[in-house]
Amino acid sequence: MGTNSQSSGILKSDEDVPAAAQLKDDTAGSIVSVRGLKENWQKWSHEHQEYQRTNPFNNSTRPSVVVPQRGQDDYGRPLQGSMTDQRGKDAHTHISREVQELCEVIRDIGEPRDKDVDGKMAVEFGKLFEHYVSISNKVVGVLLRARKQRLVDFEGEMLWQGKDDHVVITLLQ
C-alpha cells in the first residue's frame, strides 16, 4: 500500500486523474477534466441559489427583495425595471395607439352631431364596427378604453353587434 492519493482511491487534482477518468467532449472535440466538470457544476449551483433567493414561489428561503405591503404606492405593481414592468409599459403604449387610431376613424367617417358650436363628431356603432373591424377585431374593447379616458361617449355599458348598431358614439375631443 502506498501513501499517495491514487493508491488510497482519493483524487486530489487533475494531475492525479488517470487518462481513463477524463471525458471526451463530442461537441468541442476536446478533453474535459473532472475539475472542469466540477467547476461548471458549482457555477450552475451558485447561479441557481442566487435565482432562488429572488424567486417568490420558493418556500425554503425568504426573498431578499423588499415586497411592498398593502397601502403602499407600489403595492400590486411590478418591480421598477423588471421585464414585467416593461411589458406593461409596452402594452399601455400599444393600446394608446389603438385608441388614437379609433378616434381618427370616428373623425373620418363621423358626422357633426348637432349644429352647435363645439362641432363634436358622432357615428353609429354599426357603421363604426363595419369600418373598424378591418383594422382591428377589438373595436368594443378599444371603445370601452376610450370611454374610460373620456375621449368618446355612448349609452350603455357594453355594445353588441347587431343589437346596438344604432347606438350613437360621440367623439368628445
Domain CATH code at residue 129 = 1.10.10.1540
Q: Is 78 left (phi over 0), alpha (psi -120 to 50) or beta?
A: beta
Q: Which range, of 114-118, 125-129, 153-157, averages the lowest pLDDT?
A: 114-118
Contacts of 159 (CB under 8 A, 6+ apart): 125, 140, 143, 167
Q: Does residue 84 have a pLDDT over 60?
A: yes
Is residue 6 over pLDDT 50?
no
Q: What's the whole-number average pLDDT of the chain?
A: 79
Q: Which of 117, 116, 128 is nearest to 152 (CA)?
A: 128
pLDDT in tens, 95-122: 999 999 999 999 888 888 766 556 788 8
**Is residue 79 domain-resident?**
no
Q: What pLDDT score was predicted for residue 135?
A: 77
**In this structure, are 151 and 119 located in the same domain?**
yes
Both 58 and 89 in one domain: the answer is: no
Does residue 134 have a pLDDT over 90?
Answer: no
Could you give the CA distance from residue 62 to residue 95 in angstroms, rounded to a whole number? 37
**What single string gives the DSSP state of each residue in 26-75?**
TTTTEEE-HHHHHHHHHHHHHHHHHHHHH-TT-SSS--SSPPPPTTSTTT
Task: Please report the pLDDT score of residue 40 as a whole number.
Answer: 93
The answer to whether residues 89 and 158 belong to one domain is yes
Residue 73 lies in a domain: no
Residues 97 and 57 in one domain: no
Last residue of a domain, one of 5, 34, 64: 64
Same domain, 98 and 165: yes
Rounded to an integer, what distance in angstroms lies between the CA atom of residue 62 and that of residue 75?
18
Q: What is the domain range of residue 166?
A: 85-171
Domain count, the chain: 2
Within-domain flag for 2:
no
Confidence of residue 24 (pLDDT cuts 50, 70, 90): low
Asked whether residue 94 falls in the same domain as residue 42, the answer is no
Based on the domain organization, do 92 and 28 belong to the same domain? no
Size of the chain in residues = 173
Q: Which stretch of 28-42, 71-85, 126-140, 145-159 has the lowest confidence by average pLDDT?
A: 28-42
Residues 91 and 35 occupy one common structural domain: no
- Residue with the three cell numbers 476536446: 30
pLDDT value of residue 28: 52
Residue 71 lies in a domain: no
Same domain, 51 and 92: no
The Cα 173–Cα 112 span in angstroms is 13
Q: Is residue 77 part of a domain?
A: no
Tell me, yes or no, whether 100 and 25 share the same domain. no
My answer on whether 89 and 59 are in the same domain is no
In this prediction, residue 116 carries a pLDDT of 58
Does any domain span residue 69? no
* Res 91: pLDDT: 94
Shared domain check, 100 and 46: no
Judged against a pLDDT cut of 60, whether residue 42 lies above it is answered with: yes
AA identity, residue 90:
D
Distance in angstroms (rounded) separating the CA atoms of residues 164 and 144: 14
